[in-house]
Amino acid sequence: MPMNDEDYMRAALEEARRAGACDEVPVGAVVVLDGQIVGRGFNQPIGRHDPTAHAEVMALRDAAARLGNYRLPGCELYVTLEPCA
């Protein structure tokens, strides 16, 4: 059965739970391309000592590494919180 927006948000919530389990602010994100999750990430600035390790950045990094393209054409980002701007 194809995944939909609700499924992607559930996956992002799973990532947020991972962050919470690590005593991070519970934020999660997934990157989707052509109906498939190609990147996942959760908030990790405390554990990584990295102020840029926000969930959406971690998911984008994961997707770029998996796809071999930092531009991520056609990808959609699902985040449990409005991304930082």
Q: How many residues does the chain have?
A: 85
Query: What count of other Cβ atoms lies within 10 Å of the Cβ of residue 9?
Result: 15
56 has catalytic annotation: yes
In sequence order, which ranges of the chain are alpha helices (DSSP H)? Answer: 5-21, 45-48, 55-67
**Vertex 47: Cα angle to 32 and 81 (nearest 5):** 40
Q: Select which of 24, 56, 76, 82 is catalytic.
A: 56
Residues with catalytic function:
56
